[in-house]
Chains A and B, each alone.
Chain A
Amino acid sequence: MSSKIYDFSSLTGSIDAALNSWMSPGLAVLTELVIIGLVFLIFYALLGLFLVYLERKVCAVIQNRVGPNRVGKWGLLQTIADLIKLLMKELIPIRKADHLLFVLAPFIVIIASFMAMGAVPFAKGLHVLDFNIGVFYVMAVSSLGVVGILIAGWSSNSKYPLIGAMRSGAQIVSYELSVGLSLMAIVVFSGTMSLSGIIESQADGWWIFKGHIPAFIAFIVFLIASTAEINRGPFDLAEAESELTAGFHTEYSGIKFAFFFLAEYINMFIVAALGATVFLGGWMPFHIGNWEGFNQVMDYIPSIVWFFTKTFFIIYVIMWFKWTFPRLRIDQLLTLEWKFLLPISMFNILLIAFLVLMHWHF
């Protein structure tokens, strides 16, 4: 049934074979690493630019405005113009800052999101790192970003960044629990932690449909908690403009600021990709049980299209949150996590374990 879908591993396999026939195996591996790195860098930059553009357009339409429409067709070149502006800006050195950490912090944030990106399955066979603990790896690596934020706040030697960074620390440490538990719900359902295994287990229906109401609750909890984890939307306390000027990146300028900005948007993509993979079937087309005809029609849509459609749907929902809700206070933020999301997701995972034990899921 799934064999109809084009498998990218035939393409990557042929490139691997060609490289191995031209050069020694060690050199071939090195070349592949360089190629993958370059492809990811370009993808990273283009995705960042596009997400910023998309955010501004979605925000504009929600607020009954037009959004960027002057630079290029429909304003498509606006973010490129912004990038050029940021590249030309001066990098202002802070006199009493901790210089090494100050320079290091944006790179830690960006490396964390880069590492998480490696484990995202983009299409059938298009998967850089397929660990058997994929979910665990993405969780572990994406929470490294908070170290960069804390370092940025500490090394700036200024009160606003420090307050922003401390808030961010408290926020991410708390919401990590709910993200973990809601992802664990689907791990219990599918019985595997590898992302490719989770996708394969959704060949006869996505977990959000197969997992009854508990999977849906887990999806909602995941959406809320991951929005908090990427410091966005109603949970952007770490950089609350009206209170802390710009939060942890107040003292950063030019391209170092752009790194934080870019990492924030890429983290949104990673979170959305993870949610799409775990709850909405990743690149797996929309299949219903054993309706062979319907499933075959769905297979004609390429798997990469399915993946990006689902991911951008979740990105849209996260943007929808941001442009609808007012920012929470820090105590309301922690109340939401510890009094509501965490008990709900803990009860939810018990319910799911019971469902799986009784074989009540499809």
Chain B
Amino acid sequence: MIINLRVWRQANAQSAGKMVSYRVEGVSEDMSFLEMLDLLNEDLTVKGEEPIAFDHDCREGICGMCGIVINGAAHGRANSPVPTTTCQLHMRSFADGATIDVEPWRAGAFPVIKDLVVDRTAFDRIIQAGGFISINAGSAPEAHSVPAPKIQADRAFDAATCIGCGACVAACPNGSGMLFTAAKITHLAMLPQGQPERYSRVKTMVAQHDADGFGGCTNIGECAAVCPKQIPLDTISALNRDLMKSLFKKDGK
């Protein structure tokens, strides 16, 4: 396969970036999108040019490290019914000779570090603001000592599959990080261990989300459409319910 790429090149956070065209030859349809970029980078390195910087780690779709906007869709899922991360998107999804636009996540809270790499520490700050349980963990207790209803446990697990890749923010026309925040809130709010800090957590996490410069949610639904882990849009309603209840809770905040 021959693939024509238009890639966002930006030397560092301070410099202005632009789209640069590349032609990649000898692409196999079994390559992942990142392997195709590896191929291009080998070429660029041989030519003495700066290779394209992009984030990646496990390449198994479970770590949340990779993530680029491909042809305008976060992770490049486009119209495929299968949710995927960039590393699990294969070149067979594209036609031979296709021209593909590749851009980094674009969000005020995710400044570009270089080329396709963005700084996602804003997500870490949201977690630090309350996405945890304050207990002395000690050794693992007997699992049956804290009963959790099956339906709620399932919902918590579903929400906990969020890998924090940031596709929701990248896809949101408002640049909002609500799906990420809502997944973390729902994950902890559904479990017995999350109850003591449930309502203070939602306040501090949403406050940190807003302080980091993410936009507000207007229920458009683009986030859930690109989420590789299929975090449902209804987690945002769950967050809103907790946030409203928190206004009537005395929790020292």
Q: Verify that A and B bind, or say they do not.
A: no
